[in-house]
């Protein structure tokens, strides 16, 4: 009976670990959700929706809503303004360049975007409700 209980516990623990790994790997494959970007000490909101490899979103920066379109494939995110007038924060319109990022193993994003001082690094994590 003790041996049977040990086997059942091992199976349940293994199933739970597989479920957690599946959820974790799903989070690494999908950027859908609300993100908090940290750029040079400033927090900027980023709402993304992924369908396959296509991504649409809105960046909330300095009182502006910037519509974004892009791709997410192989844990690489590339976003740009949906229309020429959708400038990135402190950007210069068409020459601003895309927002780029890589999904790290811990589920955060790390990348670059353009500011008035040129390309700068940013990090992002999914918004966690209090």
DSSP letters spanning 62-75: TTEEEEEEEEEETT
Report the candidate in 117, 120, 81, 107 with the shortest Cα–Cα distance to residue 26: 107
Domain ranges of the chain: 1-30, 31-126
pLDDT string in tens for the chain (130-residue length): 545 444 444 444 554 554 555 455 777 999 999 999 999 999 999 999 999 999 999 999 888 899 999 999 999 999 998 765 555 554 444 456 899 999 999 999 999 998 878 899 999 999 988 8
Top CATH class of 31-126 equals mainly beta
Model pLDDT, residue 4: 45
Helix%, strand%, coil% for the chain, nearest 5:
25, 50, 30
pLDDT at 6: 42
Candidates 126, 108, 118; CA nearest to 88 is: 118
Per-residue pLDDT, 18: 47
Q: What is the pLDDT of residue 88?
A: 52
For residue 86, what pLDDT is reported? 53
CA distance 38 to 113: 11
> What contacts 34, CB < 8 A, 6 or more positions away?
45, 46, 47, 48, 126, 127
């Amino acid at each position: 009976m003790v041996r049977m209980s040990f086997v059942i516990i091992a199976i349940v623990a293994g199933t739970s670990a597989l479920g957690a790994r599946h959820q974790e790997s799903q989070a690494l494959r999908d950027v859908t959700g609300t993100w908090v970007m940290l750029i040079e000490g400033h927090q900027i909101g980023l709402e993304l929706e992924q369908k396959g490899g296509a991504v649409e979103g809105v960046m909330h920066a300095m009182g502006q809503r910037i519509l974004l379109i892009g791709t997410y494939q192989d844990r690489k995110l590339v976003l740009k303004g949906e229309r020429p007038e959708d400038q990135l924060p402190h950007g210069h319109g068409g020459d601003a360049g895309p927002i780029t990022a890589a999904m790290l193993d811990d589920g955060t994003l790390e990348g670059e975007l353009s500011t008035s001082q040129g390309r700068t690094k940013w990090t992002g994590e999914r918004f966690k409700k209090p």
